[in-house]
Chains A and B, each alone.
Chain A
Amino acid sequence: MSTTAVERPVPRGATEVRRGRVVGLSALLASLAFAAALSLAVGARALSPAEVWHGLFAEADPDQRLTEIRLIVQTVRVPRTVLAVVAGIALGVGGALIQGYTRNPIADTGLLGVNTGASFAVVTVIAVFGFTNPFQYVWFAFVGAALAGVLVFGLASIGRGAGNPLTLALAGQGITVFLMAMTTAVALTDQKSLNGLRFWNAGSVAGVGFDVIWPVTGFIGVGLLLALSTLPALNLLNLGEDVARGLGVNIVLSRAVGIVSITLLAGAATAACGPIAFLGLMVAHVARYLTGPDYRWLVPYAGLLGAVVLLVCDIVGRLVVRPGELEPGVVVALIGAPFFAVLVWRGKFKSA
């Protein structure tokens, strides 16, 4: 071995890269656990770890104060923590997938019309049926999101140029803006739905019970499984369509699976929390910066990052304007955007 070779930066071997990624994934899991614990303890009433533990696992207690703590933890803190984790994972994975499938680095899950489809359904059912409770319109929101996603994808895949990333993105924008206009038209003519819309629009994980969370988690689980199954094909698709076809990828099938998975993930998360913009876009870029372009690593990273960011933003939102709350959808943008802008400015991201 010559001395000059030692002085050059040694290229890292495959095992070393993999070890780094596993360490990163473990660190993300640890921060997720920490953030979740924090989310149980922090709020209008701060609880000690012992109290949280008691609230989670103790049976009914004669002590009035402890019963109250149990009530806070089990009916308020646990549901919103679970929802933040589930929705964060869904939005993060959805964001990474849609950037992969459209090969557009500024693609967001909103691009498929998912958010506006849900918004339109919400204002429509409020205007028509007079629903006031989120429990009633969350299902319509999900149906609206799914229909919009299917419509956009269906329109973009008519004819030969099917699934051209640019066509998909533009068709998504066309339908999105159309639905947004219809939403505004309804909201402007009906004050009740305008009122409902502005709260749902802010994006919140509070006030949703397990009767909504479990089904939403089910949809998201199916979406995640589909997402995992399509990751190897997605890697090949990003080498270019011809290469992927040559390597035996069924392009139409894998693209359809991808879109269904994105719709399930983003649609369910949006229905339960309202549109949380920017989260998926941001964590997908950060994940790509951390892992490189391999989607088998990028997607899990993006999911965990999404969950951590959403949890932290929800916690911050509970703390800054006490005793009121700032919706996590608002906090995500206020905290995430400057952070993201710094990373962009330092030239960390490449165009897909």
Chain B
Amino acid sequence: MSKTDMKPTAAAAPSLAPGVRIGQVSFVWRPWLVLVSLVLAAGAFLVFCLSIAVGDFPIGLSRVVATLFGQGEQVDEFVVMDLRMPRALAGLIVGIALGVSGAITQSVARNPLASPDILGITSGASAVAVFLVTVSGGAAAALVGSVGLSAAALMGGLGTGLLVYFLAWRRGIDGFRLILIGISVSAVMQAITTWLLVSADIRDVARAQAWLVGSLDGRSWDEVRVAFWCSLVLVVVVSAAAFPFKPMHLGDDVAAGLGVRYTRVRAVLLLCAVLLAAVAVSAAGPVPFVALVAPQVAMRLARCPTPPMVASGLLGALLLIGSDLIARTALPVTLPVGVVTAAIGGPFLVYLLVRANLRRS
């Protein structure tokens, strides 16, 4: 434990945010960011419980919470744990994964439009899934039967992400090159998807189209368990790598001067972002927009200069579960969750932009 670090020097400006140091780890104490994150966490937990409570067999919120902590009645236990929990958990995990993944890619590329969609991960997963749905051959059908559409999509997303990464590698990873390569690979994948859709039978097309929008329908515990453990490991790696990543917002040269091996940190973080996005897509389909909008909204709510990772993940979860809740209950026709995330997230992002513009005047 070091002991001298907390002493403020006379030269430091009084308005500087206070630093906190625990052993080797130090960070800036930003009360507003912590408050926003706490509020978002509470909001995410609330919609999570609501999502479990609402349905054909409504359960009171207090009973949901009691059941979650293992003190519910037997009937509630069955409905909550066996029927509704997988869906709500899938929403939670996918939302966090997409939010964190978006925050990473936007920070690394230093471009707010750089979401996993741009890096081709979602379009690669989609191309593989649509191929399996529309090409009704013996081999494809057998593959779907044995490994499942989700696993195939996971491999597709992961493969495309790695392809983009290795194509963009040239004595290191440069954010701009990464984006451009991502756009071109993504264009190829979308072209393949379009081609498959044009040449396929209309019934298959409707099935593929429904998968392409992203949905939380009919998740099982098995799928959720895989997504949960994958995301947990990845989030732990990300939080470890996030500390050396901080100074990189100041530019590569400054980061190098502060002793950060930026190429390696960036590679680890990007790989995690790719994996997180691939896990999310395999669990829920290519739910659009969460990865783009959650970091941008979190950044504006928390008044940070760069997307904050924790708040982005929480906001992603809030957005996804909330949208799923609306898609299930509030709409006259049942729509996949992806339609609702975009319908809510898009206007909200525009609203934040307009408000920021107005405030500046």
Give chain A's interface residues, CB within 8 Å of chain B: 104-106, 155-156, 158-162, 164, 166-167, 169-171, 173-178, 180-182, 184-185, 187-189, 191, 194-195, 198-199, 201-203, 277-278, 281-282, 285, 326-327, 329-334, 336-338, 340-341, 344-345, 347, 349, 351
Contacts and interface: CB of A to CB of B under 8 A. Distances in A.
B358 interface: yes
A338 B184 contact: yes
Contacts of B177: 344-345, 347
Given A159-B361, A345-B168, 20 more contacts: A104-B113, A106-B183, A161-B356, A170-B353, A174-B293, A174-B347, A175-B350, A181-B338, A182-B339, A184-B209, A184-B213, A189-B333, A202-B194, A278-B184, A327-B195, A327-B198, A341-B181, A344-B180, A345-B177, A347-B170
A194 B353 contact: no
Nearest to A154: B354
B190 A277 contact: yes
A135 to B, nearest CB: 20
Contacts of B228: none
Given A105-B176, A174-B347, A188 B335 contact: yes
Given A337-B184, A338-B184, A349-B180, A194 B346 contact: no
A345 B177 CA distance: 7
* Most chain A beta-carbon contacts within 10 A, residue among B168, B188, B336, B338: B188
B360 A159 contact: yes
B112 A158 contact: no
B262 interface: no
B349 interface: yes
B167 A277 contact: no
A282 B187 CA distance: 11
Interface string B162-182: 000001101000001101110
B209 A159 contact: no
B176 A188 contact: no
B294 to A, nearest CB: 13
B288 interface: yes
A175 B210 CA distance: 21
10 contacts: A105-B176, A106-B179, A159-B361, A167-B356, A167-B357, A169-B112, A176-B346, A181-B343, A201-B197, A344-B168
B296 interface: yes
Contacts of A174: 293, 345-347, 349-350, 353
Interface of B: 111-113, 118, 167-168, 170, 176-177, 179-181, 183-185, 187-188, 190-192, 194-195, 197-198, 202, 205-206, 209-210, 213, 288-289, 292-293, 296, 333, 335-336, 338-343, 345-347, 349-350, 353-354, 356-361
B213 to A, nearest CB: 5
Contacts of A344: 168, 177, 180-181, 184
B194 A201 contact: yes
* Most chain B beta-carbon contacts within 10 A, residue among A181, A327, A333, A347: A181
Pairs of residues from A and B, 4 with the lowest C-beta to C-beta distance, nearest first: A178-B346, A181-B342, A159-B357, A160-B361
A188 B181 CA distance: 32
B238 to A, nearest CB: 24
Contact of B191 (A156, A173, A187, A330): A330
B247 to A, nearest CB: 21
Given A182-B343, A345-B167, A198 B198 contact: yes
Contacts of B183: 106, 278, 281
Nearest to B356: A161
A347 B172 CA distance: 12
A235 to B, nearest CB: 22
A161 B357 contact: yes
Given A191-B206, A195-B202, A337 B350 contact: no
A349 B2 CA distance: 47
A5 B143 CA distance: 68
A182 B184 CA distance: 26
A329 B209 contact: no
A202 B195 contact: yes
Contacts of A191: 202, 206
Given A173-B113, A202-B194, A202-B198, A341 B184 contact: yes
B31 to A, nearest CB: 27
B345 to A, nearest CB: 7
Contacts of A337: 184-185, 187-188, 191
A188 B195 contact: no
Nearest to A192: B202
Contact of B357 (A160, A199, A202): A160
